């Protein structure tokens, strides 16, 4: 179903005249930026963690699903694969990311229909109750007011419909060999994300945020990644290519902000890399929340 349409990536409203939202300039208000490197990191992250994060998420044929903050489509490919027959609307504020997402989906045959739209999830251009399900992954952590965003998302969800939220929490990162320099480098990333209006420690807040935004039946479960030398797919795909790559990417910003010195920074990243080598271990926890919009 919908294969022909989706083989070309579905419909695309990026850059249409009705679109009043602009793509932010690189790194403005979004700590990870929109570089090729970041697009690759998001893809590595999604591919490595797909089984862990998407387990239990599948939408019935014909259901209307909104993926808010789809980025380069790294999660969209998994949504489309596990929900053949669903009608997915994938939105992002970045037109460049949407273009990458569209190309990615076009290259991966699937049986869901995907409709792309450039939109601000804090100002959604949809009538009330337009969707049966919402999926929001690694997005709330970048918003200055995630509670307000969740309330706005609730408006476009039909009563009885579901929301799924997935967020990380850098406070859950611990590793061997331990290193004060490595912990400091992670702390600098947390500080920079906060300065950009986000919160890299948001995972622990998913349950209270969903509850305060008026959702019911809120359930949050930890999804833990543990990597050591016996699990090379995780040490490479998660510890090295996802987590350390994300911390390493803020080097220039951390130095420019005067948070660290080149020597200390390089020592911290070097120590983090040791955790992905023989004898090293790394732990991180994601938080996956599901909830429904109350009926009546
Ligand atoms: C870390 S990326 C996650 C992308 C994707 N969900 C994933 O897991 O790979 C965060 C995305 O949120 C988008 N974003 C940030 N603020 C937004 C907003 N107000 N409206 C829509 N998208 C937004 C960014 O452009 C970026 O693509």
Cα–Cα distance measured from residue 83 to residue 81, given in angstroms and rounded to the nearest whole number:
6
Question: For helices 262-274 and 180-195, what crossing angle results, to 10°?
Answer: 110
H/E stretch holding 11 reads: strand 11-12
Q: Binning pLDDT at 50, 70 and 90, where does residue 127 land? A: very high
Across the range 64-88, mean pLDDT stands at 96
Report DSSP state, residue 294: P
The more confidently predicted of residues 273 and 106 is 273
Q: Is 32 in the pocket of ligand 1 (CB under 6 A)?
A: yes
Token readout for 22 is 């602009």
Which pLDDT does position 212 carry in this prediction? 98
Across the range 44-62, mean pLDDT stands at 91
Paired residues of 117 in beta bridges: 91
Which pLDDT does position 30 carry in this prediction? 65
Q: What is the CATH number of the domain that holds 228?
A: 3.40.50.150
The model scores a pTM over 0.85: yes
What is the b/e burial string over 238-267, where b = at least 16 CB atoms within 10 angstroms of the residue's CB? bbbbbbbbbbbbbbebbeeeebbeeebbeb
Token readout for 249 is 């990417």
Instruction: For residue 45, give the ligand 1 atom closest to its CA.
Output: 9
What pairing do the DSSP bridges indicate for beta strands 174-176 and 281-292? antiparallel
Structural domain range at position 70:
3-292
Which pLDDT does position 1 carry in this prediction? 24
Token readout for 118 is 């450039």
Q: Is 66 in the pocket of ligand 1 (CB under 6 A)?
A: no
Q: Which range among 20-29, 147-156, 163-172, 283-292 shows the weakest confidence by mean pLDDT?
A: 20-29
> Hey, whose CA ends up nearest to atom 10 of ligand 1?
139
Q: Is 140 in the pocket of ligand 1 (CB under 6 A)?
A: no
Instruction: For residue 122, give the ligand 1 atom closest to its CA.
Output: 19
pLDDT tens digits, residue range 247-283?
999 999 999 999 999 999 999 999 999 999 999 999 9
Paired residues of 174 in beta bridges: 283
Instruction: For residue 120, give the ligand 1 atom closest to its CA.
Output: 20
Ligand 1 centroid – CA 3 distance (Å): 26
Which pLDDT does position 296 carry in this prediction? 79
Number of domains in the chain: 1
């Amino acid at each position: 179903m919908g294969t022909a349409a989706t083989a070309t990536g579905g419909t695309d409203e990026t850059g249409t005249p009705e679109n009043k939202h602009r793509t932010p300039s690189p790194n403005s208000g979004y700590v990870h930026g929109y570089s090729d490197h970041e697009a690759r990191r998001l893809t590595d992250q999604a591919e490595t963690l797909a089984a862990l994060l998407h387990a239990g998420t599948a939408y019935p044929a014909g259901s209307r699903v909104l993926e808010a903050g789809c980025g380069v489509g790294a999660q969209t490919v998994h949504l489309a694969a596990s929900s053949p027959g669903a009608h997915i609307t994938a939105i992002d504020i970045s037109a460049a990311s949407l273009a990458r997402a569209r190309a990615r989906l076009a290259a991966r045959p699937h049986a869901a229909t995907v409709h792309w739209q450039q939109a601000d999830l804090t100002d959604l251009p949809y009538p009330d109750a337009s969707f049966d399900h919402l999926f929001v992954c690694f997005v709330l952590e970048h918003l200055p007011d995630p509670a307000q965003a969740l309330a706005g998302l609730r408006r476009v969800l039909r009563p009885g419909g579901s929301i799924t939220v997935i967020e990380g929490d850098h406070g859950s990162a611990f590793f061997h060999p331990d290193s004060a320099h490595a912990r400091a480098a992670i702390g600098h990333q947390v500080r920079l994300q906060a300065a950009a209006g986000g919160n890299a420690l948001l995972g622990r807040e998913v349950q209270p945020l969903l509850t305060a935004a008026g959702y019911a039946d809120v359930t949050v479960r930890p999804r833990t990644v543990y990597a050591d030398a016996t699990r090379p797919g995780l040490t490479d795909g998660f510890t090295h290519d996802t987590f350390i790559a994300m911390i390493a990417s803020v080097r220039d910003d951390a130095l420019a902000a005067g948070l660290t010195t080149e020597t200390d920074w390089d020592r911290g990243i070097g120590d983090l890399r040791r955790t992905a080598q023989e004898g090293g271990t790394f732990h991180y926890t994601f938080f996956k929340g599901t909830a429904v919009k109350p009926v009546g």
